[in-house]
Structure 1
Amino acid sequence: MPSEVALDDEEFVTRAQAGDLEAYEFLVARHTAAAYRTAVLLGAGSDAEDVIQEAFVKGYRRLSRYRGESSFRAWLLAIVANETRNLHRSRERRNGLLLRAARLSAGAEATEDGAVGAVLAGERRAALVRALRLLPAKDREVIVCRYFLDLSEDETVTMLGWPRGTVKSRTSRALVKLRGLLQVEEVSRG
């Protein structure tokens, strides 16, 4: 993230902490897309909007606790990740189902044009999402943070609340697992 964005975030956080609701609304607008992607990719599916709304409300209530030790974005995405985990726990209790993974939007595939390149890209994306769904939750979380959300290692540490060494080792192992799953799928299709 460019440093001027981080500086802007710091300014708006300070204003929001002083009671400026418009400043917080600006932060919400700036980080909604990343929060939504985080919720979807961590398995919120169709509940992603509810998850991020709850995360933004909790973020506002906890704004006085934000100390700037990490970027505001990482701090906020950690709340989104926690809300997504809460959703998973409630789904398990309510339905007794396994964790649900992120889904591709049916509308995105329906709007693809007939070009071969677009079809192949869609198939590769679908294969990646299927493989991602097969990873254990913690492996999926670290892959989503590092590669889908493009978070730095420090931001991933903050968001997941794991030690740096755990983030490094789990990222490495998860990538190996993901590559293996993609290779198995490619062999089975070919």
Structure 2
Amino acid sequence: MAIELDDAAAVARARTGDLDAYEILVARYTVPAHRAAVLLGAGAEADDVVQEALVKAYRQLSRYRGEAGFRPWLLAIVANETRNLHRSRRRRDGLVLRAAAREGPEPTGTDPADSAVAVERRQHLIAQLRLLDARDREVLVCRFLLDLSEVETAVTLGLPKGTVKSRTSRALKKLRERLVAGEVSDV
């Protein structure tokens, strides 16, 4: 089967029982789903969350309407599975971005001092992001770390687009204030 099969065609075939078509979707979206699970707080259990989400997505293909695309629909399932994980293990959301500090882009500067500063800044940003409440953190993770659009973020988090827009604005303001306050206290 050609890998060029688009999402809509793959979903249509998978609905008829074509496992090869669903395998194309799995291959296409496992990495983004895993990244979402890690960034939303699944940590070491991200593989289990993604596997459960993919199984649930397959079982619920009849409910998929295709309005925002397969990716945000699957990421919404991943987000729900991650929330279920948090509820079941009764942990606080303080673990949300542990992997983000490690998975960020490598500094491109050749100067070791520049690289060290870039790593330190990224770690400071992640630390401040962790201090935000879960609602603010989730919207920023989706918008900027997972690079989802407002519509995709709305689908992923189960929110209206306007709520995503306003929550993103408020969360960015809070994060900026934290970062500026951290710079002032370092001086």
SS of the aligned residue for 2:99 comes to coil
Q: CA deviation at 1:89?
A: 0.7
Between the aligned partners of 1:105 and 1:165, the Cα distance in structure 2 is: 27
Tell whether the 8 Å contact from 1:140 to 1:174 is kept in structure 2 after alignment: yes
Aligned partner of 1:167 among 153, 164, 169: 164
Q: CA deviation at 1:106?
A: 8.4
Aligned partner of 2:73 among 72, 75, 78: 75
Between the aligned partners of 2:161 and 2:21, the Cα distance in structure 1 is: 32
Q: Which residue of 2 aligns with 1:188?
A: 185
Aligned partner of 2:130 among 125, 133, 141: 133
Q: How many residues align?
A: 180
SS of the aligned residue for 2:6 comes to helix
Between the aligned partners of 2:45 and 2:13, the Cα distance in structure 1 is: 30
Counting aligned pairs with the same residue, the percent is 61
**1:81-115 C-alpha deviation (Å, 9 max, x unpaired):** 000110111121xxxx4223221378769x98982
Between the aligned partners of 1:107 and 1:82, the Cα distance in structure 2 is: 24
Q: Which residue of 2 aligns with 1:44?
A: 42
Tell whether the 8 Å contact from 2:39 to 2:99 is kept in structure 1 after alignment: no
In the superposition, relative to structure 1, how do residues 19 and 39 fare at CA in structure 2: closer, same or farther (>3 Å)? same
Q: CA deviation at 1:30?
A: 0.8
- Tell me the TM-score normalised to structure 1 length: 0.86
Tell whether the 8 Å contact from 1:39 to 1:51 is kept in structure 2 after alignment: yes
**1:34-66 C-alpha deviation (Å, 9 max, x unpaired):** 111111111111111111111111111111111
Alignment of 1:19-30 (within 5 A): 19-30=17-28
Report whether the alignment pairs 1:158 with 2:155.
yes
Tell whether the 8 Å contact from 1:44 to 1:102 is kept in structure 2 after alignment: no
Aligned partner letter, 2:92: L
Q: Which residue of 1 aligns with 2:97?
A: 102
Q: CA deviation at 1:186?
A: 2.4
Between the aligned partners of 2:96 and 2:122, the Cα distance in structure 1 is: 14
Q: Which residue of 1 aligns with 2:85?
A: 87
Residue ranges of structure 1 left out of the alignment (5+ in a row): none
- Tell me the TM-score normalised to structure 2 length: 0.87
Tell whether the 8 Å contact from 2:39 to 2:100 is kept in structure 1 after alignment: no
